[in-house]
Amino acid sequence: MPPRTRFAPSPTGLLHIGNAYSALCCMRWAEQHHAACLLRIEDIDHTRCRAEFSTAILDDLHWLGMDWPETPVRQSERLPAYQQVLEQLRGMDVIYPCFCTRRDIQDEIRRMSIAPHRDDPVGDYPGTCRRLSDMERKRNMEQLPYAWRLDVEKAMRRLDLPLCWHDEAGTAHPVSLDHDMVIARRDIGISYHLAVVVDDAGQGITHIIRGDDLRHSLAIHRLLQLLLGLPEPVYIHHRLVHDANGQRLAKRSAGTTLASLRAMGIRPEQLRRFLLESPDLIWPLSDADPAAAGALLGNGDQLTHTSV
């Protein structure tokens, strides 16, 4: 089987230059390795995702030169598959319902950090709902909204091996989790972490190429893959695009979206060449200024292949 990778944007806004770099890294890797590069629209968060952004993303990616060999997967159409996996984890007794609000968590952390003989690591979640009795859980579930959290200690006990991920050279990198993470949010009934591991396995992804900003997700992804008996993909992290102030590019800045570049008459080969050959990956423009964009991007000829 040839290797398979994917680009997985979330339609919470228009694609910006940082997203374009990520898509290009996936495409280039696929080209160099005769791999399939698939597309997945990560639209589980109905509070932030919009259909018009999905349409614009497909259009921008076509413009950029991306072509996908299979129908894109839309996470919003896969909710039953995620619920099934959540049930599986429930059956394994490694998740528990969490009724805490943000405020409850802050109060509890404050209270625990002044307690004299604290023996429970606090992390980002102090474990409040892990300690509820079955009766309390049952009663709360009838009355309150809840998320599902992974009981990291129980989950790790089931595995009985250290957690690590592997890079392209086959080197193992140890990772760990310091608190019980939410794997199904109370508002949408699922989380990015659970959906992404289920879909990467479902789409047969062998290599995951994504930004350095997602490294912190590796521990929870590997733990879920091991618990669920899913294959382990190879992880490759690429650099991020920054603005002139050294900040990571975000969807909010006008002048950084692909839509604004297209409206300024920029051609895809100009952007591809700039991103794939830029030594420092800095996008210094925040306004839609066609002359400045044209000067920065050059004419786009002679794209050579450099490494990620």
Paired tokens of 268: 């895809």
Secondary structure of residue 154 in the 3-state scheme:
helix
Q: In angstroms, give the least distance from the CB of 130 to ligand GLU.
A: 27
Q: Which is nearer to ligand GLU, 213 or 287 (CB)?
A: 213
Token pair belonging to 84:
């099934």
Cβ proximity of 150 and 183 under 8 Å:
yes
Q: 92 vs 218, which CB is nearer to ligand GLU?
A: 218
Residue closest to 125 by CA, chosen among 143, 144, 145, 101:
101
Q: What is the largest CA-CA distance in the chain?
A: 68
CB of 291 to ligand GLU, least distance (A): 31
Closest distance of CB 134 from ligand GLU, Å: 35
Cβ proximity to ligand GLU: between 122 and 230 the closer is: 230
Q: Is 252 helix (H, G, I), strand (E, B) or coil?
A: coil
**In angstroms, what is the minimal distance from the CB of 205 to ligand GLU?**
10
Evaluate whether 221 touches 248 at the Cβ level (below 8 Å). no
In the complex, what is the shortest distance from the CB of residue 33 to ligand GLU, in angstroms, rounded to a whole number?
18
Three-class SS string for 191-215? Answer: CHHHHHHHHHHHCCCCEEEEEHHHH
* Residue 152 Cβ vs ligand GLU, minimum distance, rounded to whole Å: 20
CB 194 within 8 A of CB 224: yes
In whole angstroms, give the CA distance from residue 274 to residue 297.
6
Binding site for ligand GLU (CB under 6 A): 8-10, 42, 196, 210, 214
Select 10 or 270, whichever has its Cβ closest to ligand GLU: 10
**129 or 275: whose CB is closer to ligand GLU?**
275
Distances (CA, A) of 112 to 122, 126, 153, 235: 8, 8, 19, 37
Distance CA 2, CA 294 (A): 38
For ligand GLU, which is the closer residue by CB, 9 or 127? 9
Angle at 267 between CA 25 and CA 298, to 5 degrees: 85
Judged by DSSP in three states, 118 sits in coil
> What is the smallest separation between the CB atom of 245 and ligand GLU, expressed in angstroms?
21
Q: Which residues contact 261 (CB under 8 A, 6 or more apart)?
A: 17, 271, 293
Q: Between residues 214 and 288, which has the closer beta carbon with respect to ligand GLU?
A: 214
CB of 147 to ligand GLU, least distance (A): 20
**Distance from chain centroid for Cα 188:** 16
Q: Which is nearer to ligand GLU, 53 or 146 (CB)?
A: 53
